[in-house]
Structure 1
């Protein structure tokens, strides 16, 4: 059965039973009412027992009646909501289709989905058209009866208006003007913007307060280093959850962004080792490494596919046969599709769902070392800060050591090119580690690490361009070998592109030394901050001690 996706832009209004619908052609951009109809709709909403979807502003329902009967999932989106529709079948009355579970898998995991509300609606629907006769919006006058199926849930009734833009108007300036005009017109008629974001939330009412909550992030002393640690971890955990559904539908750049969030989480866990402790903590880091590896394979294939597309745009010089170019580009695109399929398979695996659960538990019950009974109470704040700063110092010294080694042999042609390039790649990984450590230290200690973070980011960008060229060359070699094995195909194109990538790598590396100087300067600046902060803290402690002596 097919699943369709829409972008929904609508506005809801609360009205009383006796509020009269105004002349809808009074809305700017609306020239006529093409059709009116009355539909009897009935929907059952599903969620986990602790309402994970509802609390994430996501609705999942099975609706009968009207023109769009089926399974519907609505997810938050920028400027509107993503709406997924899946057809009904005779045997799916209580079984949510996998096509609608996958986009929210990171939230519901493998928890059972159960009915939480029923909403019946007598809908008076009007189709609105613009001056050209095209449908611009749909107006609905809804008379709703709902039942909360949660413990102590009640039956409620209400009336509301909805105006939803058509696909052609959603996300446009004309659509925004139409919604604004409708809001003004409906307000004049006695309608108020709805306080409830959805019919489901209105149906649940106060009963939602009695439902169990999923694990929440631990509440810590706001100014403690531990609170900063937890905030950094939570930020990237939320990013990971946010990009999960985007990766599944192969949204542009989503694999890259999810990989970044995963790597940052893993690096932060390494940075916080000593602040946090335990087997569960280290097991989470191992799970993140596996996820990063799966995402990395797809990201590398994606980058190479983009590079090959650009590299083969030779302006029609005639040096390379168009058929050879098309075949090579098609081959690397197929590599990406295969790698992306493996990512989606992993995102549905028990290992990935277990990782998400471990991260959730880590945030809810952080295993802070030395104060397990009351994490974040402030007793270990100074120790935590010192541990983080020590990790930062070690990350910086590792970067310097890798830089010195790589530069000492870079011009030595007796050292294999592969080894010299791997040395550069190790610098990039060290810069990434230092960047993540700087972010974590800044959040946890209050030190200004922004300059160091940005300097490391610039270095990563330069060395990333270099590494992309190296990865592209590796793929070109593999493709050339495969072409020869498949029957002696012409590999001139592979060699031509290989040389272009050699030149691209050299060009990227030309700016590296300036980025290294910037990192050194930024770290020196941060080190001076640290020493001043220590002296200030020492002076303050000394004055406090003297005052104490006078009292005694």
Structure 2
């Protein structure tokens, strides 16, 4: 994947009259031991710079650029929420809705991309000696085509948004949050003190959801709630500095396992829905594929309790 440091900083044509978006600031220049404002504001501007860079790459159709832009939006929302006392309250609250809306547009495009990739892998793995080969490949081709059309439409919506005045305004407001806005009540406190308190609250959110999500009767949405809480904790730990790196990695491991499970369950459902519409030999083959996909999803979830135990230990280390 190309580095975002090489990207052109261009918030879009609508921003030409609104002033520049600050370029990426190297967060390594700010010590972990600085104040909350010093550490978080440098992290924030770095992420905004990365976001603008990946937006430029999204315009040129670079692989993974859209996904990386979505990651940055999620990280910004997570850090603004977890470390809310380090940012101006009014400015921060005014950004959450627009960032969430932007993330939803990016998410729709990325989810369709992921579906197409997963379906394409299934198609490419169909055994040549399977008597249902031709019918199954044709059915999977149709699903891939549907996902590609959905991804193309969603990507066009992303590009339209990137060229809008509203988006240019959002990007400038993201930078202004730490350039022009007053700081929050905890901004001048040592970052490690602020982070240990904030990460403790974010960690409790994870452990509370884990009690429900790790039960055998947990629903897909309850598991998803744990995944989102783990992701939020991961990004907050990343922003805290190198001393919270183990916590970030442990949270990411839980997030990834739950994500693999969710993707598998949703893909299996799509395969079964297609099987119900098929009248050829592909119907039984699609049902078999759905069962295999469900099994892989269950396997992704089987180690989640162990990953959660490692995360709990990492949480204890930063308290």
> Normalising TM by the smaller chain, what interval?
0.7 to 0.9
Q: Which residue of 1 aligns with 2:115?
A: 304
1:247 pairs with one of 58, 64, 67: 58
Q: Which residue of 2 aligns with 1:341?
A: 156
CA positional deviation for 1:244:
0.5
Q: Which residue of 2 aligns with 1:398?
A: 205
Q: Which residue of 2 aligns with 1:111?
A: 16
Q: Identify, as 1 or 2, the structure richer in helix.
A: 2
Q: Which residue of 2 aligns with 1:468?
A: 263
Output aligned runs, 1:50-449, within 5 Å: 105-106=10-11, 108-111=13-16, 214=20, 223-312=34-123, 313-316=125-128, 317-320=130-133, 321=135, 322-370=137-185, 380-382=188-190, 386-408=193-215, 410=216, 412=217, 420-442=219-241, 448-449=243-244
* Partner SS state of residue 109, structure 1: helix
Gapped runs of 5+ residues in structure 2? none
Return the TM-score normalized by structure 2: 0.84
CA positional deviation for 1:387:
4.2
Residues 13 and 163 in structure 2, CA contact (< 8 A), matched pair in contact too = no
Residues 435 and 457 in structure 1, CA contact (< 8 A), matched pair in contact too = yes
The root-mean-square deviation of aligned C-alpha atoms, in Å, is 3.0
Return the TM-score normalized by structure 1: 0.51
Gapped runs of 5+ residues in structure 1? 1-76, 83-102, 114-212, 413-418, 528-552
2:247 pairs with one of 443, 452, 469: 452
CA positional deviation for 1:324:
2.3
Residues 216 and 363 in structure 1, CA contact (< 8 A), matched pair in contact too = no
CA positional deviation for 1:278:
3.2
| Distance in 2 of aligned mates of 1:508 and 1:347 | 36
CA positional deviation for 1:425:
1.3
| Distance in 2 of aligned mates of 1:370 and 1:310 | 51
| Distance in 1 of aligned mates of 2:22 and 2:147 | 43
| Distance in 1 of aligned mates of 2:271 and 2:294 | 12
| Distance in 2 of aligned mates of 1:357 and 1:475 | 40
Output aligned runs, 1:16-27, within 5 Å: none
* Partner SS state of residue 106, structure 1: coil
Residues 51 and 69 in structure 2, CA contact (< 8 A), matched pair in contact too = yes
Q: Deviations over 1:27-59 (max 9, x none)?
A: xxxxxxxxxxxxxxxxxxxxxxxxxxxxxxxxx
Residues 271 and 437 in structure 1, CA contact (< 8 A), matched pair in contact too = yes
Aligned pairs, number: 305
Cα distance change of structure 1 residues 497 and 347 upon mapping to structure 2, 3 Å threshold: farther
| Distance in 2 of aligned mates of 1:240 and 1:301 | 20
| Distance in 1 of aligned mates of 2:275 and 2:318 | 49
| Distance in 1 of aligned mates of 2:264 and 2:317 | 33
- Asked which structure has the greater CA Rg, the reply is 1
CA positional deviation for 1:502:
0.7
Cα distance change of structure 1 residues 473 and 437 upon mapping to structure 2, 3 Å threshold: same
| Distance in 2 of aligned mates of 1:478 and 1:283 | 41
Cα distance change of structure 1 residues 248 and 494 upon mapping to structure 2, 3 Å threshold: farther
| Distance in 1 of aligned mates of 2:214 and 2:253 | 19
| Distance in 1 of aligned mates of 2:21 and 2:48 | 14
2:295 pairs with one of 503, 508, 518: 503
Q: Which residue of 2 aligns with 1:518?
A: 310
